[in-house]
Structure 1
Amino acid sequence: MSIAAQMRMTLLGPLDQKAAIVEALQRLGVAHLIAPPGAHPEVTGTAAGVRRLRQARDYLQGATHRRRLFRPRQPVDIEALVERVLANRRARGEVIDRIEALKQHYRALRPWGDFHYPALSELDGYRLWFYRLPLHEVDPFKDLRLPWARVSTDHRYQYLIVIAEDEAALQEIPFPRSHTGGQSLSQVREQLDIQEARLEEIEIERVTLTRWIYSFDQGLAALADSTDLREALDWCEGDREFFSLRCWVPADRVEQLQPLRDLGAAWSLEPATGADNPPTLLRNRRPFDSGSDLIGFFQVPGYHSLDASAAMFLSFSLFFAVILADAGYAAVVGVVLWPLRQRLGRRLRQLGVAMVAAGIGYGVLVGSYFGLTPAPQSLPGQLRVLDINDFDSMIKLSITVGVSHLLLAHCMRLWHLRSSLAALGPLGWMLVISGGFLAWWIYIGAVTGEAAVTAATAAVVFGALGILLFSNPVAVTDWRTLLQRLGAGFTGLYGISRAFSDILSYIRLFALGLASASLAVTFNQLAATAQQTWPGYGLLLAFLVLLIGHGLNFILAIMGGVIHSLRLNLLEFNNWAVEGEGYPFRFFNKREES
């Protein structure tokens, strides 16, 4: 687990070979370009083309069914394909809107029945007026002299028709009339069938067009490549004969630049110094590289900071398991993820395996299988070593996990700063946290003796001195730098209260795990009670209670496990381990397949 060392490269070449050299650098895909001062992203018509291509590609990827991807050997007219897909998208939207309007009209007409309006001359100038009234209006038209009839009722309304030449005044009928339109129920149903058939034709065309998804991906890649290349050419500096381009290159990939020499290019290399701010490129071995995605979810560590990917990968899996607190639920997570293993990609797949393995392992240790506890004499019962209902022990365990996690953060920072006096700052924090933890064990009576009291006191005192003197190890040359150093030290001491609150935050591991386990047990008890109380159909009721109850509890446990595990890692742990935020290494490379 490390951050790749970077070399600042200044690429030089003849001006007439600029396009060829920069394009060759893009094909190599080893550099991160450094923008010149005042440079801004190029704004051209390419952005609109990319947007249209992406809209078309995303629309096709959303199809329920897809055809086998077609990989054309000859160039295709991407713009014509994009227009065809977007036309299909527009037509589909219009038809869906029309279908929804017809369905709403059909529902409004259905209580009145299926009938056709007679010609106005056949009714001698009279019209039909429709009214929908609340059901509690027992005799709404008792004083009305016009002919009317109640045609239907439902659980909320009654539907009445009045025959009159003109709409009745509000004094006669104090209710607004319903607007039914001029079409009958069967006519609306016929139009609805036509539109639904049209929608099927559009969906068939959409599925047919999915064979071009690969071409759209290639088109997007080509547009992105051309935009990056044009931007790189604009960033080149030079005179009438030569040009230069600055970039960052990983130290272990400098040898890959040799093909540029064939085009007349040369370069100078300088290692990154403390005054530089290179991009961050995380390098981790499997499976710990999955932790890089977790770190990137919150922030990218600075180049001069440390990479906590491996620690975050392990602790995230462990915390998720503690919050899930059930081997059965963890197995269900594995069953759900198994069909998705190819879509998840290697890194997420590794993280999923670790989460499932940790969840099953911790579930076995606490002896919880869908809320059921195995018999003590059985093998699962013998493997049970933790009692999640033992509040005192679980709180002690949660506090111990919190202290260990923060100690690990400071230990990693100590190792990162081991070559300077700044390492005494993290060492001071480790002493303060360890001393406070020992003092807590003395307070609750778990540890006794004068030696323990002396050790705890000494650890806190010497640790506080380390924080005071080395939080900002600036060289003391005058009274201003002395005040600056002491001011940073007092600010660091103020963070002791934050460390205390961060450690207490780890109690959420026990609280959420207990809540998940307790709900599982409760739903099991409710199901058993239903089965015993109502023989026969009580079995069906018990099954529904188990299905709905455990399903809801499973979703809540998964959400809590992911959210709070991320919080403990990214807020409590990461804030102590990683100092400074960086920006990711962006490879200047080709995306389009050749």
Structure 2
Amino acid sequence: MTIVPLVKVSLVGILNDKEKVLEAAQSFGVFHLVPLASAQKDLEAVPPGLGREAVEALRWLVDCATQRRPVTVPDEFDLEKVVDATLKNRKALKECRDRLAQLDNRIQDVEPWGEFSFSELAEVGDNRLWFYVVPAGKLKLIDPSDKIIEIVHQDKYRSYIVLLSPEEPPVNSMPVPRVHFGALSLSELRRRSEQSAIELEELELERQSLTKWRYVLAQNLAAARDRSARNRAALETADKERVFVLQAWARRDLVNEIRDLATDLGIAAVFDEITDKDKPPTLLENTHAMEGGENLVEFYQTPGYRDWDPSAIVYVSFIVFFGMIMTDAGYGLLLLLVLFLFRKRFAGSELGKRMLRMSTWLMISTAAFGVATGSYFGVTPPEGSFLAHLKILDLKDVQTMMKITLTIGVVHIVLANLMRAVHEKTPSGRFQPVGWSFVALGGLSTFLGQGTFFASVGPACVVAGLLVVGFFGSDRKVDSVKAGGLRIFDGFTALARIVNIFSDVLSYMRLFALGLAAASLAETINSLSGQLNQSVPGIGILIAILVLAIGHAINIGLGLIAGCVHGLRLNVIEFFNWGLKDEGTPFRPFKKEETRL
């Protein structure tokens, strides 16, 4: 885990060659550009020639369930025509789906009435047909003596009644309001539904046919975004008469390659070392196994360039914390199976592959802690069994679990302080974290070592740590009485953080609390399911299975949310609070967009 050393690069060339240099720099893909002039803020990521319509068209084609083989080298490709046809297909297909759903609903409403065709008014004595759906319990409230009514259909719960009358009957003449039958007969509705279904199939086939252009369309969009990025970069260079200067940050180990690039382009490359006034971006670099930690770190805060890279520690601790919160072997193995079945969904990008690796470790951690606590979908293995022998932790043993979680919290915070002490350069920056480490370890020794030798050593460590923190409260030079007073004030100000370290260590209690809550909820779900099975003979087993499935699904969902939120929060709040000093900006390379589908 490291923060990659950078240098400042200035590329100087002839103004007429700027477009060529920008394109070469974008293809090289290693520069983080430094604006030397104010660019127009309303530059769009996609130029007006393509616009949002092309993006929407591509998304519509990529989301199609059935894909055709993509055309990669087209003989002829009309971008506007393909985008227009795709968007028309999307609009027509959505309208057809809505129409078909409305017709199907209308058919369900009309079917109980049977086949009706409305005659001319003169043929039925100028009478009109009025339709009512009357519940069985209200049928006796109808007085047939003054009405011409006909029950056309009747089931166990309701009657479908047609009333003949020249005018709409009064509201109080029937026990329920009338229903609107509509002008279309049942046969006409079915005919239109069939036509819409055929039209829907044709539109789906048209969409499938258009998917062959998805790769070419994505290439055009990527090229358009690249062109837009170059246009923006061109506005941010320093131009003077016939010369331009493009400034950027780049990796120190690529200096020779950049010189070769400049030689090939016929431009000058000037390299400057980073000064104290510079604020370079932060480029994190980790091993293949720990790359996911970079995403976790940058999700909340990118460390400053002069700070240190916490990616590996955050990655490992997040996996451990997540497993402690979910803490069920059944859940972990089930989600591992789900990840295996959907593994191809993650293969489309490097980020997806990182997330798959991290998710796999999260589920392994969940399963491991589930085995250690003896929880398998909330079921505890029977005494004497092999799985029972693997149980080494009891979540209901509050004292033991408190000691474990507090120890984890202290170790985590001490590690953050020690890493900060190693990378700081001032006496205050180095010794204050060491002092707080003594305070945390001393407090833990006092708590864990009650009745032992450590109980007396712990308070001494706490006092020694506080003295170190107070003495190295700042780097202010004591060259006068006033400076000495300010140095003492700085020391007391630094000591005020004792409240923070106490509360931050206690925050790790959430690992135990959330793990116990998840296990207790799983047991409750199992107990409720068993009671339903016993109290409702026959169908009770189906209800019990349904309760089990829904209950454990909810518990898994809550566990995933809690594991992600609180597992990450302990890293980015408590850990970063003690381990990192500055917040930086991420390194964003000026490079061409890759075409992925």
1:465 aligns to 2:470 (yes or no): yes
Alpha-carbon spacing, 1:15–1:460, altered in 2? closer, same or farther (3 Å) = closer
Instruction: Measure, in 1, the Cα distance between the counterparts of 2:177 and 2:80.
Output: 53
Alpha-carbon spacing, 1:415–1:59, altered in 2? closer, same or farther (3 Å) = same
Alpha-carbon spacing, 1:285–1:484, altered in 2? closer, same or farther (3 Å) = farther
Find the counterpart in structure 1 of residue 15 from structure 2.
15
Q: Which amino acid aligns with 1:461?
A: L
1:221-257, CA deviations, whole angstroms, 9 ceiling, x for partnerless residues?
A: 1011111111122222222221111111121222221
Instruction: Measure, in 2, the Cα distance between the counterparts of 1:124 and 1:536.
Output: 58
Q: Which runs of 5+ in 2 are unaligned?
A: 347-351
Report deviation, 1:311. 0.7
- Stretch deviating more after TM superposition (261-270 or 477-486): 477-486
Alpha-carbon spacing, 1:172–1:544, altered in 2? closer, same or farther (3 Å) = closer
1:3-29, CA deviations, whole angstroms, 9 ceiling, x for partnerless residues?
A: 222212221012222222221111111
Find the counterpart in structure 2 of residue 228 from structure 1.
229
- Stretch deviating more after TM superposition (482-491 or 70-79): 482-491
Match of 2:341 among 334, 339, 342: 339
Counterpart mapping for 1:85-96 below 5 A: 85-96=86-97
Find the counterpart in structure 1 of residue 110 from structure 2.
109
Match of 1:519 among 508, 521, 524: 521
Alpha-carbon spacing, 1:490–1:104, altered in 2? closer, same or farther (3 Å) = farther
Find the counterpart in structure 2 of residue 272 from structure 1.
274
Match of 2:440 among 433, 436, 449: 433
TM-score (norm 2): 0.89
Find the counterpart in structure 1 of residue 150 from structure 2.
149
Find the counterpart in structure 1 of residue 204 from structure 2.
203
Report deviation, 1:283. 0.8
Report deviation, 1:418. 4.7
Find the counterpart in structure 2 of residue 79 from structure 1.
80
- Look up the SS of the partner of 1:591 in the other structure: coil
1:348 aligns to 2:355 (yes or no): yes
Find the counterpart in structure 1 of residue 330 from structure 2.
328
Find the counterpart in structure 1 of residue 50 from structure 2.
49
Find the counterpart in structure 2 of residue 498 from structure 1.
500
- Stretch deviating more after TM superposition (456-465 or 567-576): 456-465
C-alpha contact (below 8 Å) 2:403/2:448 kept by paired residues: no
Counterpart mapping for 1:102-501 below 5 A: 102-132=103-133, 136-142=137-143, 145-152=146-153, 159-170=160-171, 172=173, 176-257=177-258, 258-344=260-346, 345-374=352-381, 377-418=384-425, 420-441=427-448, 445=450, 447=452, 451-452=456-457, 454-465=459-470, 469-470=473-474, 473=475, 490-501=492-503
Q: Which runs of 5+ in 1 are unaligned?
A: none
Report deviation, 1:397. 0.8
- Stretch deviating more after TM superposition (324-333 or 165-174): 165-174
Instruction: Measure, in 2, the Cα distance between the counterparts of 1:532 and 1:139.
Output: 42
Alpha-carbon spacing, 1:541–1:587, altered in 2? closer, same or farther (3 Å) = same
C-alpha contact (below 8 Å) 1:88/1:202 kept by paired residues: yes
Match of 1:553 among 552, 555, 579: 555
Report deviation, 1:313. 0.6
Alpha-carbon spacing, 1:49–1:496, altered in 2? closer, same or farther (3 Å) = farther
Instruction: Measure, in 1, the Cα distance between the counterparts of 2:16 and 2:593.
Output: 26
Sequence identity, in percent? 35
Q: In the comparison of the two structures, how many residue pairs are matched? A: 589
Alpha-carbon spacing, 1:408–1:547, altered in 2? closer, same or farther (3 Å) = same
C-alpha contact (below 8 Å) 2:418/2:433 kept by paired residues: yes
Instruction: Measure, in 1, the Cα distance between the counterparts of 2:167 and 2:488.
Output: 91
- Look up the SS of the partner of 2:588 in the other structure: coil
Name the Cα RMSD after superposition: 3.1
Alpha-carbon spacing, 1:191–1:21, altered in 2? closer, same or farther (3 Å) = same
Instruction: Measure, in 2, the Cα distance between the counterparts of 1:355 and 1:280.
Output: 27
Instruction: Measure, in 1, the Cα distance between the counterparts of 2:282 and 2:563.
Output: 29
- Look up the SS of the partner of 2:250 in the other structure: strand
Report deviation, 1:363. 2.5
C-alpha contact (below 8 Å) 1:410/1:576 kept by paired residues: yes
- Look up the SS of the partner of 1:243 in the other structure: strand
- Look up the SS of the partner of 2:7 in the other structure: strand
C-alpha contact (below 8 Å) 2:440/2:462 kept by paired residues: no
- Look up the SS of the partner of 2:8 in the other structure: strand
Alpha-carbon spacing, 1:269–1:68, altered in 2? closer, same or farther (3 Å) = same
Find the counterpart in structure 2 of residue 32 from structure 1.
32
Find the counterpart in structure 2 of residue 565 from structure 1.
567
C-alpha contact (below 8 Å) 1:131/1:160 kept by paired residues: yes
Instruction: Measure, in 2, the Cα distance between the counterparts of 1:432 and 1:449.
Output: 14
Q: Which amino acid aligns with 2:210?
A: L
Instruction: Measure, in 1, the Cα distance between the counterparts of 2:207 and 2:506.
Output: 55
- Look up the SS of the partner of 1:260 in the other structure: helix
C-alpha contact (below 8 Å) 1:222/1:592 kept by paired residues: no
Report deviation, 1:558. 2.7
Alpha-carbon spacing, 1:255–1:155, altered in 2? closer, same or farther (3 Å) = farther
- Look up the SS of the partner of 1:295 in the other structure: helix
- Look up the SS of the partner of 2:290 in the other structure: coil
1:264-317, CA deviations, whole angstroms, 9 ceiling, x for partnerless residues?
A: 211211222332222221111121111111122223223233221101110111
- Look up the SS of the partner of 1:429 in the other structure: helix
Report deviation, 1:134. 5.9
Find the counterpart in structure 1 of residue 70 from structure 2.
69
Find the counterpart in structure 1 of residue 349 from structure 2.
none
Report deviation, 1:196. 1.7
Report deviation, 1:329. 1.9
Report deviation, 1:534. 7.4
C-alpha contact (below 8 Å) 1:398/1:509 kept by paired residues: yes
Q: Which amino acid aligns with 1:360?
A: A
- Stretch deviating more after TM superposition (424-433 or 187-196): 424-433
- Look up the SS of the partner of 2:593 in the other structure: coil
C-alpha contact (below 8 Å) 2:431/2:469 kept by paired residues: no
Report deviation, 1:138. 4.5
- Stretch deviating more after TM superposition (311-320 or 42-51): 42-51
